[in-house]
Structure 1
Amino acid sequence: MAFLSNRSRRPRLAPELDDTDLGKLLKRLVSTSRSSAFGTTDICVAQLARFMEESPEDFDRRAHRLSVLAGFLSESHLPAAWVTRDPRNPDALVLQAWSELEQGRTAGVLADASSIWKRCLLASEIDPRDPAPWLVMLGVARLERYPNSDVFAIWNEILTRDRWHREAYLSMLAYLSPEEAGSTAQMVEFVDSVRIRMPANAPCAAVELTADVMRYHAIVGRGGTDALLARNHWDSPQTAAFLERAAATWGQPAFFSHAATLADLNLLAYALTVSNRRREAAPLFETIGGKVTDWPWRTQGDPLAAFESARSKGR
């Protein structure tokens, strides 16, 4: 395993994960936006356009990049400025729509759902292959509480373009949870239907573990005796077998190749820690280095402190 410097192992929230080019762009955008130079907006827009033009034709990677940029720029004028300068650029259209969706998620309501929808439809018309516009529309449908049939129809549009799209499966899992439009039984049914046909190294392989972590959090959230015994959730034969397989394979070089691999490794390290399998988690922490995801670590307070505490206990 490659030597990791103390600096690279120091925990930090890294939404870009292992996408170094994306991380460099985020730093450039911050640096440029803080500049008082004339034409700052034009410079930032040019940086965004050039970066997306150079992105590989990998729908999984592109969705990761657009998602991170949308969250990073959700309160910025840059997505709208890019669309104004290039109104038929599908990346610009999706980025603005996704940024407005992120604003809506924060506020709990979308300011203008119809305009987001129109931009996504136009982006899909310009590039029918890309599932990203439909992924944003799925987010709109969830937030706006569209009928179940409409939500599944949008999800199917994504799958026709990318069969194992990670964010699509996680989005549907959240939609089918008790916190949104479903129930624990519907979550379990969804995961069971996916598990029987999904490749072990598919980009959406973490959907089963995500469901288990969500159910574990629900048990802890009930408090009392349930919370005290929540660790027993991980001892069911099916869940324990899944953790054993994942611990043996997920961290292996080249097992996963999707953009959010480090997010899935963070999730597995968390699950192994809370299920008292810290020794199995230790190699994962070495692979992760210091690139921490906000979820699920934030459920234990400060995500960086929770991550470092779990890592130190596994040594």
Structure 2
Amino acid sequence: MFRNLLNRGPQPVAPAADLDPALDDLDLRAARDKAFGGDWQAAWDVVEAAGSDWERRGRRVWTLSVAAADDGAWLDAWRAAIPDDPTAAAIWASTLAERASRARGSAPAADTTRERFVGFAELAAQAAVAGRQAIALAPDDPVPWVDVLWVMFAGGRGRQQEFAEALAEVRRRDRFHFAAHLAAVSFHCEKWFGSHDAMFGLARSTAAAAPPGAGVTMLPVFAQFEYAMREFNWGTPTPKGLLACRRYFQRPEVQRELDACVAKWRAAGPPAHADAIVCRNWLALAYALSDRRAEAKAVFDEIGPYVASPAWSYFFGDRKHGFLSNWRWANRLR
């Protein structure tokens, strides 16, 4: 036994987990660094470079808004220099939406204070106004509508019709916009304002209608995470809850849906849309919960160090811990 241990050789070294929302968009990272240094023109350039790739534009706007939520001096200077610039307006609306999300926090409603809910509602209302202003400046751009969707999570119980109308506006501009449909699936899940049936219905109908290669073809996999977390691991994740989630993911019907989603997502060639790393994170997690080690390792190899989804925290308490512990499991020498 000891000889075998000594002969195993070096073990693979886990990557330095990268939680930067820019993911593998190196141009975006460079532009954001320049913006922090006072060159807001670099931020404008990188967003405009996305052209009519609305998903890439949206991810770049959102990533810059995360930076502005921490330190928005560069965005303030931009908005002062060009008050009616639609790109700056979109980033500002997204910044307010990001601040609203931070005010709310990620805890379940029962564990969230009244003060947090009040802060969430106030900032969400400001973000909604800013989003409508951004829409008025760029009527053909679906990106500001995505933030309009997300801020409806503040007081969303009575906003189903308003939400549906806003989603229709996104679809009119970009039929299968990934971030918009992710917001919609989340809005309709049981932990927010819908039910398991409503969530799965929206995820599956969107995936079925979408063309091969579209990121939304992976939405049923995300819905499976939401279902398993709510049913078996709600609140603080536990070993017992994780075991129940693993058993659920290994059911034949769940495996069939996972394989069908992946087949359609990959059918157009290696996915290269703006949120492909997010979908790969979902896939690695699904394979790990399914105990499919070889497939999980292959996807981790595609991902590299980029931790791109909070879904890891649904089952492992912390997204970085979930990502790295499953990377080690997938890469364990046998």
Shift of 1:314: 1.7
Partner of 1:74: 69
Asked whether 1:156 is paired with 2:171, we answer no
Partner of 2:322: 306
Q: Whole-Å Cα distance in 1 between the matches of residues 72 and 263 of structure 2?
A: 45
- CA RMSD of the aligned region, Å? 2.6
Shift of 1:293: 1.9
Shift of 1:149: 0.7
Q: Whole-Å Cα distance in 1 between the matches of residues 123 and 313 of structure 2?
A: 30
Report Cα offsets for 1:173-220 as digits up to 9, x if no partner: 111112211111211222232233222321212211110011121233
Shift of 1:87: 1.3
**What is the correspondence of 1:78-227 to structure 2 with a 5 Å cutoff?**
78=73, 79-108=75-104, 109-145=120-156, 146-222=158-234
Q: Whole-Å Cα distance in 1 between the matches of residues 14 and 241 of structure 2?
A: 38
Partner of 1:39: none
Aligned residues: 299
CA contact under 8 A between 1:247 and 1:280: conserved in structure 2?
no
Shift of 1:284: 0.7
Partner of 2:296: 281
Q: Whole-Å Cα distance in 1 between the matches of residues 309 and 215 of structure 2?
A: 19
Cα 1:210–1:312 change in 2 (3 A) is same
CA contact under 8 A between 1:251 and 1:283: conserved in structure 2?
no
Shift of 1:84: 2.3
Report Cα offsets for 1:210-260 as digits up to 9, x if no partner: 100111212332569665433222233332113234556756894322101
Cα 1:149–1:303 change in 2 (3 A) is closer
Q: Whole-Å Cα distance in 2 between the matches of residues 251 and 282 of structure 1?
A: 17
Cα 1:13–1:295 change in 2 (3 A) is same
Q: TM-score, normalised by structure 2?
A: 0.80
> Percentage identity across aligned positions?
23
Q: TM-score, normalised by structure 1?
A: 0.85
1:100 maps to a residue whose letter is L
Q: Which runs of 5+ in 2 are unaligned?
A: 1-11, 105-119
Report Cα offsets for 1:23-54 as digits up to 9, x if no partner: 22233345x2xxxxxxxxxx232332233333
Q: 2:55 aligns with which of 48, 55, 60?
A: 60
Higher alpha-carbon deviation: 140-149 or 222-231: 222-231
Q: Whole-Å Cα distance in 2 between the matches of residues 217 and 289 of structure 1?
A: 26
Partner of 1:35: none
Q: Whole-Å Cα distance in 1 between the matches of residues 19 and 182 of structure 2?
A: 21
Shift of 1:121: 2.5
Higher alpha-carbon deviation: 100-109 or 231-240: 231-240
Q: Which runs of 5+ in 1 are unaligned?
A: 1-5, 33-42
